[in-house]
Amino acid sequence: MADTTAPPMAVRIEFNEPQIDVSSLKGRSVLVTGGAASIGLACAAKIAEAGALVTISDLQEAAGRAAAEELRSRGLQVQFVQCDVTSYAAQVDMFQKAIRFSSGRIDIVMPNAGVMSEHNLFDMATVRAASLDGPPPPEPGFLRCNVNLQAVYNTCYLAMHYFHLPRSSAGNYKPSIVLLASLAGYVGYPSSSTYGMSKFGVRGLFYSIRDRALHESPAVRVNLVAPWFIETAMTTIPEFLSSEAGMLMSVMGYAPMEWVVSAVLQFCGNERLHGRAAGVFPTSNEDLGGDLEGSYSGKVL
């Protein structure tokens, strides 16, 4: 039976270190979902540059294959696996292909696949006039929750399973999950009820597994990165820019992509870090203090 005594949290993250040591990533087996573009691709590229064997998965086959081909042309060890993360069977296939690509094990999993929506519950509920005689409002969809939360849960579930494959070739490296959430999971996101709900859910998943994971065999490090808005295809479309969130972003600005990558690299490469959440803001990266000492991020936010 696993020891469920809560371990001490890792020390707070220092983001002023002059250089991130990524030497421990050489030869590691890494899986990045939603890796064909944006944050996922930027992180996958840097991890591969550190010498890791990287599997990027995405629903978008053409973009994913092109991204993997470009990285391989630079001498990096990268493969692409098409995957609809809302399908459990597809995720199983994705994990197995990633493991076979890298000598029979998986070391780092980054559940990054996600989608946005620009509708609040009230916008959808009032699309039709209220009437006992007329039709009810259309049934709300939960695609965003299926991708942003349920699929992330399944990715973590399968990661914990496959981390138990023989690890003799992994040395003493603790396998790692780096969750990609959002500051919408801390401060809310009025533009989309399902997006905000799903990101709060990822934060809840993080809190629920981080302590237990360190007492498993092998011990697993679980950390989280919560970015502010990054300049991506999803955050530059007119529908987003005209939304409440888009107008707020126009005042505060985007957070730099390279700061997201930096936070991910720290969590992957620094084996002392576990149970920590990094907020990526327009002006700096901050440890969100997601513990009792930090008032569960209340002191930062």
Q: Mind telling me the catalytic residues? A: 195, 199
Cβ burial of 222 (10 Å; 0-12, 13-18, 19+) is: buried
Sheet holding 108-110, edge to edge: 78-82, 53-58, 29-33, 108-110, 176-180, 221-227, 277-280, 285-287
Instruction: Indicate the helix (H) or strand (E) that contains 213.
Output: helix 193-213
Give dist(CA 32, CA 92) in Å, integer: 14
Strand 285-287 versus strand 277-280 pairing type:
antiparallel
Measured N-to-C along each axis, helices 193-213 and 151-162 cross at an angle, to the nearest 10 degrees, of 20
Residue with tokens 């890792």: 10
